[in-house]
Amino acid sequence: MLSPLAPAGVAGYPPLLFVAPRLLTLLTLVILGAGAARLLGLDHLLVWHDEVFTLIRVFGYQHGEVQAALFSGQILTPADLLRFQQPDPAHTWLDTFRALAEHPEHAPLYYLLARLATALPLDPVTAVRGVSAIFGVLLIPAVYWLTRELGARGLTPWIAAALVACSPLQLLYAQEARQYALWLLLLVAASAALTRALRRETRADWWLYAVFITLGLYSHLLFALMLPVHALYALRVRFDGSNQPGQFVRLVRRWSLAVGVALLLFSPWLWVIATQPDRIGDITSWMRHPVGLDDLFASWVRHLTHTFVDLSHEPSQQPLPGSGLLLIPLAWAIWLFIRQAPRPAVWLLLLTALVYLGIVLGPDLLQGGSRSRQVRYALPTLLAVQIMVAWVIGTAIAAESGALARRLGLGVLALLLGLGGLSQLAIQRADTWPTKQFSTRNGEIARIANTANTLIIASDGAVAIGEAISLAYRLAPQIRIWGEPQNRPFMLPEGFADCIALTPSDRVQAALGSTQTLTALAGTWQWFAVSGPQADPAQTPPPAAAADTSTTPVITRPTDSPRESAHGEASQ
């Protein structure tokens, strides 16, 4: 294949390829601009439920401590809740370790790095999201490195880096206080390091690979799926019939040593997991909430589409009409990649995509579940698809013959980069996005609450703590929050013009009285407007009366927004 970077005037090179230096300059500018965008506006998007728990753990607060404060029966201000999003000198690093150990399903590396970042003179949200942003920036050169290690030359690695830099999905997770940007970075870096070790066969490269997989295991438990992928990939590269038996034995020994060292270093967290065998099962039980095949298909159409373009900030449950047709050119691009790319690249990227596709979609199809609705679990698959598409575009641009193929490659590249750039601009101008999941509407709920003397009534539930604190970020200082006390009688506070209820319990509904109506707000399933005359506190029934349905208000839920399976925090 001729290099698309050939200098002008060299005989035998197609004339169209003379523009390659300009295209390389343009790609470099796009990469630098889109990469820098990850570091800007880190505080503009809504702080959602799972990010709230990130900060709670980073600062070493225990779940029971936050729960006791919220559901004490005392009237609280937004600042009273937001103190759990701020550092407290009384909570040390030891408290952070204890808080992380309560949730072994979350590997601790990102949270420990975030704790370090909060020592900077920055707002905690900006500091913690900034950690993700740095990893999101580093992902771009890591993709370039991996693509080159897999054999791509010319413009292809630059195109892969540019597509990842302009991806709206990658921007969103690079600006979220969660571990996904770190997970992707280490996944890509470990794969590139393995490819480099297989090519050069030096001990330094194998130790570098061991370092990356150790860090990868500490970034996300699902990183462990890359170990069998890497094993199959390494065997395919080496065991091709052309290598001597001694080389195969040396490969097995070095790979086993690298993985053995990584697992040994990861064993402290394996012990934490082993001492809480039921914890992960309890936390991930929401994944088994069944959804229909139509929802699964719609989810994957959204995931694949939003990898390249995402211009709507509305949390639609269905993809745009006709967006399913985008699967056709994507499938064609993947097929071309499988046919044209070097076998090592095909094996690694295809195995990575299939393993994470299988772990998400397979159980949903075989046993029923809602994993496919969570794009974060599919991020490795979607990243592999991006690199495959970049490879096909680079091959088309570098074609030795066929001006139509080259022009088509340039056109597709310009279209994807343009749509990605417009999507990132839309995200930067928004205050929330559907990746905030069931918290997406919390900004709108807060605006409703801020228009009057409003009381937020919270009942203890699976999402109550995260949602109450997420809302507190957007509440005006005069708004008050009251959490239903547990296992003792209570009276609802008086003197408020409006009330908004968060996952109201049977006791709260009974206390409100039969004259009240609870209407779901802004299409949510957890927030309700309380309308009608407030119940007389003197007539508030005791807890035992909560079972009397004649005293409970009418509840109106949205018919077009199915209620999510309640869960405390997303398991991964």
pTM of the predicted model as reported, rounded to 2 decimal places: 0.89
Region 455-460: mean pLDDT is 94
Q: Are 61 and 98 in contact (CB under 8 A)?
A: no
Give the β-pairing of 498-502 and 454-458.
parallel
For residue 520, the SS3 value is strand
518 pLDDT more than 70: yes
* pLDDT per residue as tens digits for the range 145-156: 999 999 988 899
Q: Are 279 and 103 in contact (CB under 8 A)?
A: yes
Overall size of the chain counted in residues: 572
The type of residue at 71 is: F
Positive or negative CA dihedral for 71, 72, 78, 79? negative
Which range among 169-183, 215-229, 397-411, 439-453 shows the weakest confidence by mean pLDDT? 397-411
Which range among 225-229, 334-338, 405-409 shows the weakest confidence by mean pLDDT? 405-409
Query: What are the residue boundaries of the structural domains of the chain, listed by start?
Result: 15-37+130-434, 438-556
pLDDT at 399: 80
220 pLDDT more than 80: yes
Region 66-75: mean pLDDT is 93
Region 340-366: mean pLDDT is 88
- In whole angstroms, what is the distance from residue 485 CA to residue 462 CA? 15
Average per-residue pLDDT for the chain: 85
241 pLDDT more than 80: no
Helix (H) / strand (E) element for 480: namely strand 480-483
Region 65-78: mean pLDDT is 94
Helix (H) / strand (E) element for 458: namely strand 454-458
Residue 484 DSSP code: P
568 pLDDT more than 60: no
Find where tokens 């630059």 sit. Answer: 158
Region 345-352: mean pLDDT is 94
Which range among 113-122, 287-296, 493-502 shows the weakest confidence by mean pLDDT? 287-296
* pLDDT per residue as tens digits for the range 306-329: 999 998 766 655 555 666 677 888
Show the tokens assigned to 130. 């900034």
Phi, psi at 528, each rounded to 5°: -130, 135
